[in-house]
Amino acid sequence: MTTDLRLVAGLMSCLLCPGAQAADVKAGKMAAQTHCIQCHAAHDWDGEDASSLESLIRDIAAGKVKHKQKITLSDADIANIAAYWGQGRD
């Protein structure tokens, strides 16, 4: 019984954790249009999956990868843009 309660508590904490929520493709499209559309389009990332795009965008935002200009994005914006671009549609 104790193991079951721990499992339920663990699952509930994952559901309530903001980072555990799925990325929002619609919000990603809006964020990409606001922050990225000047130089990038979704089809620029054809063949890339959302997780690799998210990692790349995080590295750019952190200054680890050279980029034309400094970008400042929230964690949610990064995940959402990656989800939008990762689906491969404009």
**Mind listing the pLDDT tens digit for each residue in 19-28?**
446 899 999 9
pLDDT at position 16: 47
Q: pTM of this prediction? A: 0.73
- Cβ neighbours of residue 47 closer than 8 Å, sequence gap 6 or more: 88
pLDDT above 80 for 9: no
Residue among 1, 5, 90, 6 nearest 40 (CA): 90
Fill in the DSSP letter of residue 13.
H
Where does the pLDDT of residue 41 fall: very low under 50, low under 70, confident under 90, or very high at 90 and above? confident
pLDDT band at 89 (very low <50, low <70, confident <90, very high): low
